[in-house]
């Protein structure tokens, strides 16, 4: 299987009054076609910055360094005015709060039609057919944008709504986003992804705002997208158990670095990094009066004041002198299971 | 703390310029009692009415029907001043530690408010109790004269907890106090709550959508769906051997460490109903895979079965007039 997405040596820095603060520091990540890779971390771990860098959607006060290759083409070096060529059928994103990513004054059907048109335009450019990857510079996309919108919702849009199991898709298509429930809105976003047939989908906490029953439905739809369309999915979440449900491999991020990376089952059942162990240990389990859950002392570091050496050392119960002096790097300890820790 | 046939009604407007008036009942005829020294968790999805129930018990919203008793007094019959004096003994910790703490006040002023509000005048006692509450939740004395913006989310929630426990309350409502926190911080807060509860012997009503958290904290669990309690019993019974089809479905959707158990294989159709458009009969009947004719005709009442209470005709089909016993 080829890598649909390959991130290497990615740094994301944010400009502050005095200096650049690095939220992501040297992340490597590869996602194969049809694979789901989870990125787990707490707030401030840099996981969302990785997602935005892949989408080329970082805010103006941020810069990305390194390489983000989608089907072999680097996106970091791509000028911003050409970025729309990649978004859509190349890479697409699902956000935590679907209300803010849908247009409130457009009917669902119109927004889905846009996705269809955008895909058609992308295919004209032949950029994202895996058999023929063209370089931008061919037909100028600014002159080939759609001229008019089709009035009735195309069959394809209705079909996509049916695919994401929205009851009565014709009625839902005629509605505005605010008339739908949170779960329905997230399903509309996924319907859009079905229509775009992206090579890479970045899902940033797509189920965090949803109830567990709706979450289960949305997770199964995303799995369907990766299986049926071969979409490579980067699933970003704070919840390692949710990631465990969908991802084949999982990366654990702490303070801007991947500290552990491996097959989901290995990471969940046999975590190696003390942070991963602590994360899994702090999941509530058992009944009242039973075993107390472990807690990681302290809080994640401020990226402006990172500790020297291993970034986890002030909270780690195994920390040695070497951890305070020397940076860590990912090492392969078992088959495909990497950890960045001086203990190993 | 107990409630009898408690209902809360909200008026909603819809249609052109709000011309259509309708009433919804997010809490519909709930009987509930929280025993002394226990943690009872009300679990439910968004829109199940669980937070409204918590607010109604504390009279933060006015119930439309039913009565609430606190230490034997019907709090609906108290004068405003009597209720205010009682407030310090029945407290709440809110979900969002950002919007529920006044950004213009020092921590010591936030934490001491329930004491001052209940009419305590003795400055030295107020200071001593405030300092004790702040240290009980694990914050240093230097926190007292800081503003909330200087704290992280987890520390803010500790301030919210300090405010709730400062008057040694007998009853505390905790409305999803950890749902906005990272798991490692959540673990710290959950252990803190367990310690505070067992140390004080107070009763806690914990409101949550998180099964694992509910299981970890509670003695008893009440499962709420569309404004009603559908199952109630000890945590071990309800989580370990759920009986109501909704409780079963809900539990099957919760991801666990056992990744071979796929929540993505669970087939639950549809969304929770809207209060303006409730199904007739049992409110879960339109999503329940066991539903039969009776379920669509009559509302099942909460009645004992299998060592707990459950509102489902699968367990007491012979009920004569279930609608009447719900009232």
Q: Which of residues 248-287 of B touch A (CB under 8 A)?
A: 249-250, 253-257, 259, 262-266, 268, 270-272
* Nearest of A237, A208, A222 to residue B46 by alpha carbon: A208
CA distance A70 to B102: 47
> Which of B182, B191, B254 has the CB atom closest to A238's CB atom?
B182
CA distances (Å), A262 to each of A45, A266, A312, B173, B212, in order? 18, 7, 19, 41, 26
More confident residue, B191 or A147: B191
Overall number of domains in chain B: 1
Question: Between chain A and chain B, how many beta carbons pairs sit less than 8 Å apart?
Answer: 124
Overall number of domains in chain A: 2
Q: For residue B25, what is the domain's CATH number?
A: 3.40.50.300
**Residues A66, A12 within the same domain:** yes
At residue B216, does pLDDT exceed 50? yes
A22 in any annotated domain: yes
Strands (E), chain A: 3-15, 20-32, 36-40, 62-70, 73-74, 91-94, 200-204, 232-237, 249-254, 257-263, 331-334, 337-339
CA distance A217 to B6: 33
Residue A288 DSSP symbol: T
**Residues A233, A282 within the same domain:** no
Residue B194's domain spans which residues? 2-89+169-239
Q: For residue A20, what is the domain's CATH number?
A: 3.40.50.300
Helix (H) or strand (E) segment spanning residue B159? helix B153-165
Per-residue pLDDT at A152: 53
CA distance B112 to B110: 6
Domain boundary among A207, A228, A247: A247
A260 in any annotated domain: no
A259 in any annotated domain: no
**Residues A10, A55 within the same domain:** yes
More confident residue, B18 or A329: A329
Place of tokens 């002030």: A314
Q: Is A71 helix (H, G, I), strand (E, B) or coil?
A: coil
Sign of CA dihedral B149, B153, B154, B160: positive
More confident residue, B246 or A98: B246
A90 band by pLDDT with thresholds 50, 70 and 90: confident
Average pLDDT score over residue span B25-32: 93
CA distance B172 to B187: 19
Place of tokens 């004491």: B115
CA distance A181 to A193: 19
Q: pTM for the whole thing?
A: 0.89
B182 in any annotated domain: yes
**Chain centroid to CA B322: how far?**
26
Contact B216 A284 (CB under 8 A): yes
Interface test with A, best of B216, B258, B266 (most A CBs within 10 A): B216
Helix (H) or strand (E) segment spanning residue B230? strand B228-234
Q: Which of residues 213-242 of A touch B (CB under 8 A)?
A: 213-217, 219-220, 223, 238-242
Q: Six-digit token pair at A301?
A: 């570091």
Q: Six-digit token pair at B306?
A: 């299998």
Per-residue pLDDT at A125: 57
Q: Is B141 helix (H, G, I), strand (E, B) or coil?
A: helix
CA distance B108 to B102: 12
Output the average pLDDT for chain A.
86
**Residues A145, A85 within the same domain:** yes
More confident residue, A96 or A333: A333
| A273-286 pLDDT, tens digit each | 999 999 999 999 89
Long-range contacts of B259-265 (CB under 8 A, 24+ apart): B259/A244, B259/A245, B259/A264, B259/A265, B259/A268, B262/A245, B263/A212, B263/A215, B263/A216, B263/A219, B263/A220, B263/A245, B264/A216, B264/A219, B264/A220, B264/A223, B264/A245, B264/A246, B265/A220
Average pLDDT score over residue span A114-121: 78
A42 in any annotated domain: yes
Contact A183 B271 (CB under 8 A): yes
Average pLDDT score over residue span B156-160: 95
Contact A296 B249 (CB under 8 A): no
Share of chain B above pLDDT 90, in %: 74
Per the DSSP assignment, residues forming a β-bridge with A31 are A5
Q: What is the ipTM of this complex?
A: 0.86
B246 in any annotated domain: no
A311 band by pLDDT with thresholds 50, 70 and 90: very high
B123 in any annotated domain: no
Q: Which of residues 53-112 of B touch A (CB under 8 A)?
A: none
**Residues A286, A219 within the same domain:** no
B76 in any annotated domain: yes
B47 in any annotated domain: yes
B181 in any annotated domain: yes
Place of tokens 């990631």: A243
Q: Six-digit token pair at B90?
A: 């029945």
Residue of B nearest to A290 (CA): B216
Contact B271 A245 (CB under 8 A): no
Residue A280's domain spans which residues? 274-339
At residue A248, does pLDDT exceed 90? yes
For residue A73, the distance in angstroms to the closest alpha carbon of chain B comes to 33
Per-residue pLDDT at A153: 61
**Residues A335, A212 within the same domain:** no
Residue B106 DSSP symbol: B
**Residues A304, A156 within the same domain:** no
Interface test with B, best of A183, A207, A216 (most B CBs within 10 A): A216
B302 in any annotated domain: no
**Residues A279, A226 within the same domain:** no
Q: How far apart are the first and last CA of chain B?
A: 20
A80 in any annotated domain: yes
Using the Cβ of B185 and the Cβ atoms of chain A, whether some distance falls under 8 Å is answered with yes
CA distance B191 to B129: 22
B252 in any annotated domain: no
Q: Six-digit token pair at B242?
A: 């759920």
Per-residue pLDDT at B4: 92
| A213-234 pLDDT, tens digit each | 889 988 999 999 899 889 999 9
Phi, psi of A148 (to 5 degrees): -140, 155
Q: Six-digit token pair at B317?
A: 């089909």
Residue of B nearest to A184 (CA): B271
| A140-158 pLDDT, tens digit each | 444 444 444 444 567 888 8
Interface test with B, best of A274, A284, A297, A316 (most B CBs within 10 A): A284
CA distance A99 to B276: 22
**Helices assigned H by DSSP within B10-147:** 50-57, 80-87, 107-117, 123-136
Crossing angle for the helix pair B107-117 and B123-136, nearest 10 degrees? Answer: 120
At residue A127, does pLDDT exceed 70? no
Q: How far apart are the first and last CA of chain A?
A: 30
Which of A134-138, A167-171, B312-316 has the least mean pLDDT? Answer: A134-138
Average pLDDT score over residue span B263-291: 87
CA distance B199 to A78: 60
CA distance B107 to B85: 22
CA distances (Å), A67 to each of A48, A53, B70, in order? 17, 10, 63
Starting at the earlier edge strand, list the strands of the sheet with A3-15: A20-32, A3-15, A62-70, A73-74
* Nearest of B105, B267, B184 to residue A297 by alpha carbon: B184
């Amino acid at each position: 299987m080829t890598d649909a997405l390959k991130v290497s040596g990615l740094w994301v820095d944010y400009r502050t009054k005095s200096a650049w603060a690095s939220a992501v520091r040297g992340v490597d990540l590869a996602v194969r076609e049809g694979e789901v890779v989870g990125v787990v971390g707490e707030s401030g771990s840099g996981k969302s910055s990785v997602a935005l860098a892949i989408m080329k959607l970082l805010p103006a006060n941020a810069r990305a360094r390194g390489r983000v290759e989608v089907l072999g083409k680097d996106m970091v070096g791509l000028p911003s005015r050409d970025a729309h060529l990649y978004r859509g059928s190349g890479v697409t994103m699902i956000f935590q709060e679907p209300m803010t990513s849908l247009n409130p004054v457009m009917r669902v059907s119109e927004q889905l039609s846009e996705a269809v048109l955008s895909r058609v335009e992308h295919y004209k450019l032949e950029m994202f057919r895996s058999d023929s990857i063209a370089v931008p510079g061919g037909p100028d996309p600014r002159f080939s944008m759609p001229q008019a919108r089709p009035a009735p919702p195309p069959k394809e849009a209705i079909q996509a709504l049916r695919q994401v199991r929205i009851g009565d898709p014709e009625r839902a298509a005629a509605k505005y986003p605010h008339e739908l429930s949170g779960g329905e809105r997230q399903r509309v976003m996924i319907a859009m992804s079905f229509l775009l047939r992206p090579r890479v989908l970045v899902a940033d906490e797509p189920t965090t705002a949803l109830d567990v029953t709706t979450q289960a439905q949305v997770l199964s739809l995303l799995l369907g997208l990766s299986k049926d369309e071969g979409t490579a999915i980067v699933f970003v979440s704070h919840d390692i158990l949710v990631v465990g449900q969908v991802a084949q491999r999982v990366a654990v991020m702490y303070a801007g670095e991947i500290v552990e990376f491996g097959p989901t089952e290995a990471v969940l059942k046999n975590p190696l990094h003390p942070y991963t162990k602590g994360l899994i240990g702090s999941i509530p389990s058992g009944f009242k009066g039973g075993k107390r859950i472990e807690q990681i002392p302290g809080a994640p570091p401020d990226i402006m004041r990172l500790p020297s050496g291993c970034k986890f050392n002030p909270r780690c119960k195994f920390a040695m002198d070497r951890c305070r002096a020397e940076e860590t790097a990912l090492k392969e300890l078992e088959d495909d299971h990497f950890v960045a820790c001086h203990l190993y | 703390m107990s409630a009898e046939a408690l209902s809360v009604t909200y008026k909603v407007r819809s249609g052109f310029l709000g011309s259509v008036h309708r009433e919804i009942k997010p809490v519909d005829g709930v009987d509930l009692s929280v025993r002394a020294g226990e943690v009872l968790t009300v679990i439910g999805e968004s829109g199940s009415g669980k937070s409204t129930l918590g607010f109604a018990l504390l009279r933060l919203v006015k119930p439309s029907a039913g009565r609430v008793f606190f230490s034997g007094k019907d709090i609906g019959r108290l004068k405003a001043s009597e209720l205010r004096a009682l407030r310090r003994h029945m407290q709440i910790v809110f979900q969002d530690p950002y919007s529920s703490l006044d950004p213009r006040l020092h921590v010591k002023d936030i934490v001491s408010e329930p004491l001052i509000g209940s009419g305590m005048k003795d400055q030295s006692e107020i200071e001593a109790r405030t300092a004790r509450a702040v240290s009980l939740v694990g914050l240093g004395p230097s926190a007292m004269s800081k503003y909330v913006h200087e704290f992280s989310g987890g520390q803010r929630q500790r301030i919210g907890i300090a405010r709730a426990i400062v008057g040694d309350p007998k009853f505390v409502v905790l409305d999803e106090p950890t749902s906005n926190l990272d798991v490692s911080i959540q673990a710290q807060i959950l252990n803190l709550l367990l310690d505070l509860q067992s140390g004080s012997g107070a009763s806690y009503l914990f409101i949550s959508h998180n099964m694992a958290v509910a299981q970890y904290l509670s003695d008893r669990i009440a499962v709420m769906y569309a404004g009603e309690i559908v199952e109630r019993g000890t945590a071990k019974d309800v989580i370990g051997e759920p009986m109501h089809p909704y409780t079963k479905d809900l539990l099957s959707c919760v991801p666990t460490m056992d990744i071979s158990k796929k929540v993505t294989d669970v087939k639950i159709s549809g969304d929770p109903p809207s209060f303006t458009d409730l199904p007739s009969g049992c409110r879960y009947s339109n999503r329940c895979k066991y539903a039969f004719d009776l379920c669509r005709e009559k509302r099942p009442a909460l009645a004992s079965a299998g060592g707990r209470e459950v509102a489902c005709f699968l367990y007491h089909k012979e009920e004569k007039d279930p609608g009447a016993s719900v009232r």
